Structure formats: C-alpha cells, structure tokens
Amino acid sequence: MMDNKISITISVLLTLMLSITGISLADDQPIEIKAQPPMYSYIAVWNIPESEWEARKYQAEAAKKILDQAIDNNTIFSYGYDRNPLHDTFWLAKSKAGLETVRDQFEKIGITQVPAKDGAAVMPVSILVSRYYNCKTIRSENAYVHVGVYKIRPDAPADAVDQLSKYFFGPVLEQNLVDGAIFEWETDVYDNPKDSPGTFLIAYLSEKNEDMEMVNKAVQERLKSTVPNGPALDSLIDMKAITDVVVRSYAVYKK
C-alpha cells in the first residue's frame, strides 16, 4: 500500500512540474509528415541576353497579369520569379491541367521559353511533382529560396522519396513553417523520371536571410541525426552528390 502511495505521489509531482514548466512529454517528438495529393510545379528558365531584358518588360507585365488571374480563379495557387543566378518563372497547381492552362495563355500572347544553350546544366522547362509540401498565404517581394538537389542511390528502396520526406526533411521544415521561419517547403522529383533519373529536390522559402540561415543549420543537423527504427540517410542518397542553390524570388502563395 505504501509503495502505491509513493508511486502516486511521484506521478502527481511529475505532472505538476511539467505543467508549471510548460514541458510536454511529446516535445521531442518530430512532427508527423504524411503524403498529400500531388502538387505540380512548372519551371521555365529564360535564356535571355541581358541586352534584351529592357525590351521584354512588356512580356513580364503581361505574364504577371495572367498569373494573378490564375491565382484568383484557383487555377494555380502559387507563382514566382527567381533571379540570380537563374532567371526563371514558376507556377504551382494541384493538377497538370492547371499548369497547362497558364502555359497556353503565355503562348497565346507570344511568351515562350527560350531554349537553353547547348550543354546548359538547367533544362529550359521542368515539371516537378511533390507529395510532401505546405505553405502559408503570402506575397513576398524579395524572398530567399533554398534549393537542395540530391541523388538517390541506385540500391535505395523504392520508397526512398517517401522515407526522405517523412523522416529527414519534412519534420524539420514543417516545424520551421509552424514557427514562422519559412513560408513554404516542398520535396520534389521530376514528373518525367527520364528528365533527371534519381534526382530528389527540396525547396523552402523565407523572407529573412537570418531565418534562412537558421533553417539551413536545422536541416544540416537533422541530416546528421539518426532516425529511431528508421533508415540511415546514406542508404538513401549519395552523400557526395549534394548541391545547394540560393536564389532571390518574387513569390506568391495562396493557401
């Protein structure tokens, strides 16, 4: 009987201490990440000489009008312009039809992507697909965009993308979205595997450089950690084939 009373007393005291300090027993548990309906991204890279930028301003204004209308009628839910070192336009939709609607409207007014030069590292058009993503409604004039490019190991399991998203990248990026350090994140693969076999990408956007640096550090720490009862990172990706790119972007997202 005495042992039971002692156990109950200890339990009550522990509960009281946790409630006073605000500590939750689940605080150290990462956010659970689940697959969502597909999200598609259309990325058009403009190989335009700087001498022609001024003459093409009218096209940029017309493109922005098309994209804003597509946001308003829910054809797409995001778009933006990346610059330095790349110049590209991107738009995101929950269906390929949404992507194609915007592309067709561009072509009707004479806006088409310029083919990349021979040997260019970036394709003029890429379509990505994601099952892991989240965002907040925002219009950011000069966001920081971090893109990480990874190569999945040839001997990795078929669900390597799911494991990378659920256990490594998704939890830390979602937590930073909740905390307000970033306003969008996603993990992607090319919709057509032939475009870049085995490529896995992550992207996240922030309004502040200091927030971006903080998230970068958190991601790196996450990659160094082990997942209880989960896969080892080096069993999923080639640790020697990692590329990180940071660009500035005008970005619009509608939750």
Q: Determine the Cα–Cα distance for residues 152 and 166; give it in Å rounded to an integer.
A: 15
Strand partners, 151: 199
Give, as one character, the DSSP assignment of residue 72.
H
Q: Determine the Cα–Cα distance for residues 59 and 127; give it in Å rounded to an integer.
A: 22
Strand partners, 199: 151
Taking phi over 0 as left and psi of -120 to 50 as alpha, with beta for the rest, 114 belongs to: beta
pLDDT digits (tens, 9 = 90+) for 227-250: 877 789 999 999 999 999 999 999
Q: What is the rounded average pLDDT of the residues 60-81?
A: 95
Q: What is the rounded average pLDDT of the residues 95-118?
A: 81
Hey, what are 50's tokens? Answer: 């700087």
To which residue do tokens 């085995």 refer?
198
Residue 44: what pLDDT? 85
Confidence of residue 123 (pLDDT cuts 50, 70, 90): low
Residue 31: what pLDDT? 87
Confidence of residue 114 (pLDDT cuts 50, 70, 90): low
Q: Determine the Cα–Cα distance for residues 117 and 191; give it in Å rounded to an integer.
A: 23
Hey, what are 17's tokens? Answer: 């201490």
Q: Which residues contact 248 (CB under 8 A, 6 or more apart)?
A: 82, 83, 84, 142, 143, 144, 145
Q: What is the rounded average pLDDT of the residues 103-128?
A: 72
Of 115 and 175, the one with more pLDDT: 175
pLDDT digits (tens, 9 = 90+) for 147-189: 999 999 999 999 999 999 999 999 999 999 999 999 999 999 9
From the list 97, 91, 42, 43, the residue with the least C-alpha distance to 71 is: 91
Q: Which fold has domain 2-253?
A: Alpha-Beta Plaits (3.30.70)
Q: Which residues contact 159 (CB under 8 A, 6 or more apart)?
A: none
Of 55 and 121, the one with more pLDDT: 55
pLDDT digits (tens, 9 = 90+) for 16-50: 443 444 333 344 566 899 999 999 999 987 666 66
Find the range with the poorest average confidence among 85-89, 129-133, 207-211.
85-89
Query: Whole-model pTM?
Result: 0.83
Confidence of residue 60 (pLDDT cuts 50, 70, 90): confident
Q: Which residues contact 58 (CB under 8 A, 6 or more apart)?
A: none
Q: Are 127 and 191 in contact (CB under 8 A)?
A: yes
Query: Above 80 in pLDDT, residue 74?
Result: yes
Q: What is the rounded average pLDDT of the residues 207-212?
A: 98
Confidence of residue 85 (pLDDT cuts 50, 70, 90): low
